[in-house]
């Protein structure tokens, strides 16, 4: 069943992946600079959500989720409560737990490139 969901995800072309990658990288930077607020569960923006899970694999996970993938994200989130939901990076620690950031559905190479560009600035 999880494989069916992942196969669906692979078939979806995400609009403006670079935009979400920049948001992902900015969140990583904000966490590293202690400028990130952990006082929310879900923030809705125009075309994406920022989701905070405070106990996935004994870590904090912040997910950037494009709205076009929201239903798939929720389905995977429910069916895989003890697994990482995709590529993530450790951005720091908060309350003695790792803080990891992911950008659901955006390719790893695009996320990596975005982090690299952010670190050059």
Complete DSSP assignment for 10-32 = HH---TTHHHHHHHHHHHHHHHH
User: With 90 as the cut, is the pLDDT of residue 116 above it?
Assistant: no
pLDDT at 67: 95
Instruction: For the chain, give the longest Cα–Cα distance.
Output: 42
Q: Which domain holds residue 12?
A: 2-120
Please state, in angstroms and rounded to a whole number, the distance separating the CA atoms of residues 97 and 20.
25
pLDDT at 9: 59
Report the mean per-residue pLDDT for the chain: 87
Give tens-digit pLDDT for 11-70. 677 888 999 999 999 999 999 999 999 988 999 999 999 999 998 888 999 999 999 999
pLDDT at 7: 65
3-state secondary structure of 117: helix
pLDDT above 70 covers a percentage of the chain that reads 88
pLDDT at 43: 95
Q: For the chain, what is the domain count?
A: 1
Q: Where do the H-state alpha helices sit in the chain?
A: 2-11, 17-32, 70-79, 108-120
């Amino acid at each position: 069943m999880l494989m069916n969901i992942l196969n669906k995800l692979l078939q979806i072309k995400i609009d403006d992946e670079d935009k979400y990658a920049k948001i992902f990288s900015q969140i990583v930077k904000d966490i590293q600079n202690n400028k990130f607020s952990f006082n929310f569960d879900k923030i809705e923006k125009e075309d994406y959500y920022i989701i905070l899970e405070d106990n996935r694999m004994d870590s904090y996970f912040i997910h950037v989720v494009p709205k076009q993938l929201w239903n798939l994200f929720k389905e995977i989130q429910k069916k895989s409560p003890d697994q990482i939901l995709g590529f993530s990076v450790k951005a720091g620690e908060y309350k003695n737990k790792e803080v990891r950031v992911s950008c659901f559905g955006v390719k790893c190479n695009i996320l990596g490139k975005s982090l690299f560009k952010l670190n050059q600035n």
